[in-house]
Structure 1
């Protein structure tokens, strides 16, 4: 437990450095899976590590030690973690659990509302056309989901580009991209150090949908042009409209960050040959996740041995 318990938080410090290479160099579907699993595993492992450290502080409290039949004297002598470290870990653990539960509740509520809205929307072939001059398009999760597009967006794009728009949005629904975003954000809620991974997932799902549209239409340049036109049209939306509309749209991440980089990067990726699986990045990511998992298991085993020892000395 001397080293193993600290390894997951340390890996969470360096893991975000791989978010940009994964999102830019790896095939989008694989990148999305790797980033999402990384956020979940590292978020869970670091939270468990905080819990293990917090427990080492709890067993030094006489009242709690009496309930577990542990010797506080033996705990102070044999516990490798300082009491101050255990107290800080306990505070961080409380904050992590509170943030994660709050995020989970809000996400569940949002998805439930989206499902109800989708079920109530009259649709033709799963498509809902809103009579709105503001150009907008997004996928609304539900059972079944809906592709929502405004008349303003349809008027902005040429008729030959409508199939690209629909292919992009349908890709979000069929691949359940909202679930990847939710899971990555859940891991980042438990460990704020992992927020770059969750941010990268919101980009890679757009790239995933772009590639699906390119495959469906067979014309990468036309998809790139459509993505660019939709992004330019989105700048005309009022700020409130951009903030309240759904995130799974052809416009990608909305707001200031959308202007600063993601859309041009998507267009550039579509104008380049399709990305392949990147073995080195995949193996490195798998190694990091394996190390975090094994370290957490080792730390839990060490805590079990510590509790057995302090119990035997009572």
Structure 2
């Protein structure tokens, strides 16, 4: 079991580049879904692999042996190696758990502060008196579009409507859940951090297309996004108070997004080219192998537990 359990731990280093390549060939919404699913599957598989590494070494502890009714340890190899691997895996799991807990608490605190700053009321638009230009989609029930007076002054009325349509698309699509899922997954495996940037781009591109469709003018949507980004970047200091899970039109590679809106294929190719299909197929194989290996290792561990309990003959 110990030999195959390394597959889910190493697979993200192979699957993440394939996911980034496949996402670049997909329409924005499909790319966001692909990246989110990839992150969740790989994070779950690698976390399960670490948990499975802990059990054989823990079986040397008397309390665990009594609890599991084990008549002998589960070790397949030298006890020192098994215990060392189990200790390292347990330490990583505890560290990851602490990071996840801290990230969730920080996210909740940021949302509470942002909602308090936006004020009470069920209106969709919350205007903050702040000279620093900023606008973002604040998730919640209900979700709200937060914009500063500085941003309102930087845009013309038609551009404001395009900006609001962009942020409204983030709220309607619940894009913050995709972003939060990938950020939490990245805390489970370092290789998954590389999915954050392409996911942010895909989510912004999806909102760009929704805004263009809402205002009926792709050039207007591109102009609104470009001017909002210029206003934000020309501010003397970054705007404060925006939660890290709140998406904003002025974020990300704005020149690429504007070029995509003004280009002939703004919404992305209708389907994957042949090379894209190969990359997507390779990615699906990576995800299937990672998940299946974790499940197979769990089943093998269950068999070893039954053997250690004396319920099955030793192999």
Relative to the length of structure 2, the TM-score reads 0.85
Runs of 4 or more, structure 1, over 4 Å off, are 76-79, 112-119
Q: Partners in 1 of 2:210 and 2:69 — Cα distance?
A: 60
Superposed CA offset, 1:216-258 (max 9, x none): 22332332222221111111224342x53244111124xxxxx
The match for 1:35 is 35
The match for 1:259 is none
Q: Partners in 1 of 2:14 and 2:74 — Cα distance?
A: 36
The match for 1:97 is 97
Q: Which residue of 96, 108, 128 maps to 1:130?
A: 128
- The CA deviation at 1:271 is 2.5
Q: Partners in 1 of 2:215 and 2:283 — Cα distance?
A: 32
Q: Which structure's residues are more often helix, by fraction? A: 1
Secondary structure at the aligned position of 2:127 is classed as strand
The match for 1:265 is 256
**Contact 1:4–1:298, Cα closer than 8 Å, also in 2:** no
Q: Partners in 2 of 1:66 and 1:92 — Cα distance?
A: 25
**Contact 2:132–2:237, Cα closer than 8 Å, also in 1:** no
Q: Which residue of 275, 285, 289 maps to 2:268?
A: 275
Q: Partners in 2 of 1:161 and 1:11 — Cα distance?
A: 45
Q: Partners in 1 of 2:256 and 2:121 — Cα distance?
A: 34
The match for 1:67 is 67
Secondary structure at the aligned position of 1:251 is classed as coil
Mark the CA change 1:282 to 1:113 in structure 2 (over 3 Å): closer, same or farther.
farther
Superposed CA offset, 1:258-282 (max 9, x none): xxxx222222222221213436254
Relative to the length of structure 1, the TM-score reads 0.85
The match for 2:222 is 224
Structure 2: gaps (5+ residues) = none
**Contact 2:114–2:241, Cα closer than 8 Å, also in 1:** no
Superposed CA offset, 1:167-194 (max 9, x none): 1010011111111111111111222221
Q: Partners in 1 of 2:216 and 2:150 — Cα distance?
A: 26
Q: Partners in 2 of 1:77 and 1:122 — Cα distance?
A: 62
- The CA deviation at 1:25 is 2.2
**Correspondence 1:238-253 to 2 at 5 A:** 238-241=236-239, 243-246=240-243, 247-253=246-252
User: What CA RMSD, in Å, does the superposition of the two structures yield over aligned residues?
Assistant: 2.6
